[in-house]
Amino acid sequence: MTNPSNQNSHLHERLHALAQNLWWAWHPEVIRIFTDLDPHLWREADHNPIAFLNSMPPEQIELRASELVLHSRINYAFRRLNEYLGKEHTWGSIHCGNLWSRPVVYLSAEFGLHESLPIYSGGLGILAGDHLKSASDLDIPLMGIGLLYNQGYFSQRISKEGWQGEEYVDLNIHQLPLEPLLDGNGNPQIVRVDIREGFLLARIWKLQVGRIRLLLLDSNVDGNSEEDRQLTSRLYGGNDRTRIRQELLLGIGGARILQMLNIIPGVLHLNEGHSAFAILEEVRRIMQDDGIPFDRARRRVSLYTVFTTHTPVAAGHDRFSPDLTEEHLGVFRETLGLSHDDFMALGRVHPEDKGEPFCMTVLALKNSRRANAVSAIHSDISRRMWHALWPNRPEAEVAIGHITNGVHVLSWLAPQMHKLFETRLAHNWPIRMTHQDIWENIAAIDNGELWEVHQILNTRLINFVRRRLAARAERLGDQDTIQQAESILDPDILTIGSARRLATYKRGDLILSQPDRLLKMIADPDRPIQIIFAGKAHPQDNEGKKILQSIIEHTKNPAVKRRIVFVEDYDYNVARHLVQGVDVWLNTPRRPLEACGTSGQKVVLNGGLNLSVLDGWWNEAYNGRNGFAIGRGGMHNDPNVQLQRDAEYLYDTLEKEVIPLYYDRDADGIPHQWVKRVKNSMISLGWLFNADRMVRDYALRLYLPAAAANSAETV
Ligand SMILES: *Cc1c(COP(=O)(O)O)cnc(C)c1O
């Protein structure tokens, strides 16, 4: 027999080891262990296993583990983690030859990996997080670099009047799976970037995402001015000055970390322009190491630099005034031997225009081997948008291709659906998810079985929303809502979810534009609908906050019978509940401004249907039988006309297609035609719109050619 105290010390070690690698976050069997130990505390800890384990006295953990016979499950999970980390014959080991000596370095201003690590704001961050997780699953030699925001983005608190307030809380670094990067003497490694009026310093934290290492720069160190200690406090906070300083740290600081670690990048992947200064630091390094002039070094760096652009919205591209740029990059520019004008030219569309600001996207586009957009339609728009950079080429030959985004399936798939996939797709389906044929097995699943799993998920979502609404009502002292919380929403009603950043072009309130028509659908005695909204407005975006306020106004109308609700504080956790439990996912951006959109892809996996404008990924995904389209892909120069037309299409589609199909029930109570459409959606889209397919595309089409050109040049 094993000695019990020995067993218990193993228990602690193993639980902590599991908590230290974010691998747990996409393995439901590990999450289940934490939940089973104490469901209430687990929720209280915001699903942060380190905070959770710290909050439970060791004796209590042991007691619970014994009561629930968790030891073997913990041992099994621990073994699975080690098998995962040590696995051979992976996709990457077979396909990524060149990259094993010189890895891909993936830079991004945000990473959305889990709700307990709030260093993301929205789609861009979630995409970066999903990219790392799939790179880990596929075993691609890749390292991430980003910033550690000590106060994250923000927590949304909506007042009684419906106005968004922002709450910032300091992260507790000791409750996160972060380890400081130390030098040989055990002192923290510090990155330094000189500017005109001094310097910026940052320490570096290491985070393990499965097999992938993510390094995060943090300016909160001794030696920085008080102001600069706060520099990396908030994501997208402050002004241009904050922004350029953050980007100096991310780009130049990030590339300097590589030098500290003696890593020579095989590929530099800039996820959005925020990190584009990394190009310049790589140029500086090569000029110094190889003693070659700026132009040659620049050409060499561009051989292995890959750039992904993420937005067709002009304001989404950082631009810095010549003065601000000179103040922050003047010192660095001198090390490159460039004049102010030569330097500014790197970030200008028209170098001769001395008033033009320095644009990070321009820097990235002019100095990368390949640039890509994130959906087919987005690459068309991007080529038009940046045509002026290559005035002698026809627009169609502007070198911006596309790799459509996908989502990390195991992070977004509900455990209940996971179980169904395991028995029905194939036992090893996660490593074969990009194969179309395994998804075809969905066709054979019994409609009733699939519907039942979906209904369970829908009920879970409704319970979650009720809890969230009750919590907000408690805060506001809203007795009515507290008392009625249990009767808000109904699992037998068609549930529409709509959650996204409340930016004006996303038109999150389009469905509210004809209130009478909406009210009629909501209050229909036989075939009613209910809508769950969520989303944050940027703290400085008053227009976005007004959209939010108008949604909140609607939720208060007694005539809607509590069938329109708004869930506060849209984050990873809220998103997971929503995408897993809705019947219909509504997306109404102003075409063509949605670069890709990924939330609808999460819905596909969990058996919901998309109802969306034909923009971004949906423009290439919709086939007439796997969801619903709003309109036919039209556009109009006048945004108001476009809005009215799209609203008309939206109501028509709801009234004539979506609602009738959902309520068309057989004697068994199952909407067979609806379920058929759900199956079409999973079969036609699951294998394509996932992050494994996306990362493989990046590897085969961009990383490997870039790495080959890089090594041909340097051998
Ligand atoms: C998936 C996700 C997004 C991106 O979704 P869009 O379709 O681009 O709106 C944004 N925020 C969160 C929290 C998400 O999970």
**What domains lie within the chain, and their CATH numbers?**
4-86 (no CATH), 91-405+696-712 (3.40.50.2000), 421-688 (3.40.50.2000)
Q: 514 in helix, strand or coil?
A: coil
Mutate to test the pocket of ligand 1, among 114, 124, 126, 606 (most ligand atoms within 8 A of CB): 126
Q: Is the pLDDT of residue 92 over 70?
A: yes
Q: How large is the average pLDDT for residues 83-101?
A: 95
- Cβ of 203 closer than 6 Å to ligand 1, yes or no, is no
- Cβ of 598 closer than 6 Å to ligand 1, yes or no, is yes
Q: Is the pLDDT of residue 332 over 80?
A: yes
The kind and range of the H/E element at 164 are strand 164-167
Confidence band for 35, pLDDT divided at 50, 70 and 90: very high
Supply the residue whose CA is at minimum distance from atom 11 of ligand 1: 122
Return the pLDDT at 713.
82
515, two tokens: 């209130």
State which ligand 1 atom lies nearest to the alpha carbon of 576. 15
How many Å lie between the centroid of ligand 1 and the Cα of residue 535?
9
Helix, strand, coil percent values for the chain (each to nearest 5): 55, 15, 35
What percent of the chain is modeled with pLDDT above 70? Answer: 99
Q: 610 in helix, strand or coil?
A: strand
Q: 628 in helix, strand or coil?
A: strand
CB 467 within 8 A of CB 40: no
Q: Is the pLDDT of residue 9 over 90?
A: no
CB-CB neighbours of 689 under 10 Å: 25
Whole-angstrom distance, CA of residue 374 vs CA of residue 385: 15
Supply the residue whose CA is at minimum distance from atom 5 of ligand 1: 599
CB 575 within 8 A of CB 499: yes
* Strand locations in 398-508 (E): 400-402, 494-499
How many Å lie between the centroid of ligand 1 and the Cα of residue 576?
10
State which ligand 1 atom lies nearest to the alpha carbon of 506. 9
- Half-sphere CA count of 188, side-chain side, radius 13 A: 18
Give the model confidence (pLDDT) of 457-496 as tens digits: 999 999 999 999 999 999 999 999 999 999 999 999 999 9
Whole-angstrom distance, CA of residue 256 vs CA of residue 145: 11
Return the pLDDT at 4.
54
CA distances from 232 to 219, 221, 312, 400, 638 (A): 6, 11, 26, 31, 39
State which ligand 1 atom lies nearest to the alpha carbon of 500. 9
- Cβ of 571 closer than 6 Å to ligand 1, yes or no, is yes
- In this structure, of 172-181, 556-565, 589-598, the range with the lowest mean pLDDT score is 556-565
State which ligand 1 atom lies nearest to the alpha carbon of 123. 4
- Cβ of 576 closer than 6 Å to ligand 1, yes or no, is no
Give the model confidence (pLDDT) of 118-174 as tens digits: 999 999 999 999 999 999 999 999 999 999 999 999 999 999 999 999 999 999 999
Q: Which pairing describes strands 628-630 and 104-107: parallel, antiparallel, or unpaired?
A: unpaired
Return the pLDDT at 315.
86
- Cβ of 575 closer than 6 Å to ligand 1, yes or no, is yes
- Cβ of 272 closer than 6 Å to ligand 1, yes or no, is no
Verify cis geometry, omega within 30 degrees of 0, for the bond prior to 671. no
- Full DSSP string of 209-255: ETTEEEEEEE--STTS-HHHHTTTSSTT-S-HHHHHHHHHIIIIIHH
How many Å lie between the centroid of ligand 1 and the Cα of residue 123?
4
Supply the residue whose CA is at minimum distance from atom 1 of ligand 1: 599
- Cβ of 125 closer than 6 Å to ligand 1, yes or no, is no
Among 297, 299, 306, 304, residue whose Cα is nearest residue 275? 306
- Cβ of 616 closer than 6 Å to ligand 1, yes or no, is no
CB 354 within 8 A of CB 266: no
**Burial (CB count within 10 angstroms: exposed 0-12, middle 13-18, buried 19+), residue 516:** exposed
| Contact partners, residue 254, CB within 8 Å, separation at least 6 | 105, 107, 145, 215, 217, 275, 278, 281
State which ligand 1 atom lies nearest to the alpha carbon of 412. 15
Residue 91: DSSP 8-state: H
Mutate to test the pocket of ligand 1, among 500, 538, 618 (most ligand atoms within 8 A of CB): 500
Counts of helices then strands in the chain (DSSP H, E): 32, 20
540, two tokens: 């400085």
How many Å lie between the centroid of ligand 1 and the Cα of residue 185?
42
At 114, the amino acid letter reads H
- Cβ of 136 closer than 6 Å to ligand 1, yes or no, is no
How many Å lie between the centroid of ligand 1 and the Cα of residue 687?
20
- Cβ of 599 closer than 6 Å to ligand 1, yes or no, is yes
| Contact partners, residue 483, CB within 8 Å, separation at least 6 | none
CB 577 within 8 A of CB 553: no
Return the pLDDT at 7.
67
State which ligand 1 atom lies nearest to the alpha carbon of 121. 11
Mutate to test the pocket of ligand 1, among 598, 605, 617 (most ligand atoms within 8 A of CB): 598
584-587, strands of its sheet edge to edge: 564-567, 529-534, 494-499, 584-587, 609-613, 628-630
CB 553 within 8 A of CB 162: yes
Give the Cα-Cα-Cα angle 310, 315, 321 (nearest 5 degrees): 115
Q: How large is the average pLDDT for residues 175-197?
A: 96
- Cβ of 273 closer than 6 Å to ligand 1, yes or no, is no
How many Å lie between the centroid of ligand 1 and the Cα of residue 503?
13
- Residue pointed to by tokens 């390949």: 370
- Full DSSP string of 691-710: HHHHHHHIIIIIIHHHHHHH
Return the pLDDT at 314.
86
Q: Is the pLDDT of residue 67 over 80?
A: yes
- Cβ of 205 closer than 6 Å to ligand 1, yes or no, is no
State which ligand 1 atom lies nearest to the alpha carbon of 574. 13
Supply the residue whose CA is at minimum distance from atom 4 of ligand 1: 123
Output b/e per residue, 162-184; b: 16+ Cβ within 10 A.
bebeeeeeebeeebbbbeebeee
* Strand locations in 170-329 (E): 178-180, 190-195, 198-209, 212-218, 267-271, 305-308, 319-320
pTM reported for the whole predicted model: 0.97
Mutate to test the pocket of ligand 1, among 573, 599, 613, 694 (most ligand atoms within 8 A of CB): 599
Whole-angstrom distance, CA of residue 402 vs CA of residue 496: 30
Return the pLDDT at 2.
47
- Cβ of 126 closer than 6 Å to ligand 1, yes or no, is yes
**Burial (CB count within 10 angstroms: exposed 0-12, middle 13-18, buried 19+), residue 530:** buried
What percent of the chain is modeled with pLDDT above 90? Answer: 95
- Half-sphere CA count of 635, side-chain side, radius 13 A: 8
How many Å lie between the centroid of ligand 1 and the Cα of residue 342?
39
How many Å lie between the centroid of ligand 1 and the Cα of residue 263?
33
- Cβ of 572 closer than 6 Å to ligand 1, yes or no, is yes
Q: Is the pLDDT of residue 250 over 70?
A: yes
Among 415, 372, 407, 421, residue whose Cα is nearest residue 692? 407
- Cβ of 597 closer than 6 Å to ligand 1, yes or no, is yes
Return the pLDDT at 5.
59
How many Å lie between the centroid of ligand 1 and the Cα of residue 533?
13
Give the model confidence (pLDDT) of 424-462 as tens digits: 998 899 999 999 999 999 999 999 999 999 999 999 999
State which ligand 1 atom lies nearest to the alpha carbon of 596. 8
- Cβ of 538 closer than 6 Å to ligand 1, yes or no, is no
Give the model confidence (pLDDT) of 632-680 as tens digits: 999 999 999 999 999 999 999 999 999 999 999 999 999 999 999 999 9
Cα-Cα end-to-end distance for the chain: 59
Give the Cα-Cα-Cα angle 113, 118, 124 (nearest 5 degrees): 60
Supply the residue whose CA is at minimum distance from atom 12 of ligand 1: 122
How many Å lie between the centroid of ligand 1 and the Cα of residue 500?
6
Q: Is the pLDDT of residue 520 over 50?
A: yes
The kind and range of the H/E element at 679 are helix 672-685
Output b/e per residue, 139-157; b: 16+ Cβ within 10 A.
bbbbbbbbbbbbbbbbbbe
Whole-angstrom distance, CA of residue 234 vs CA of residue 249: 14
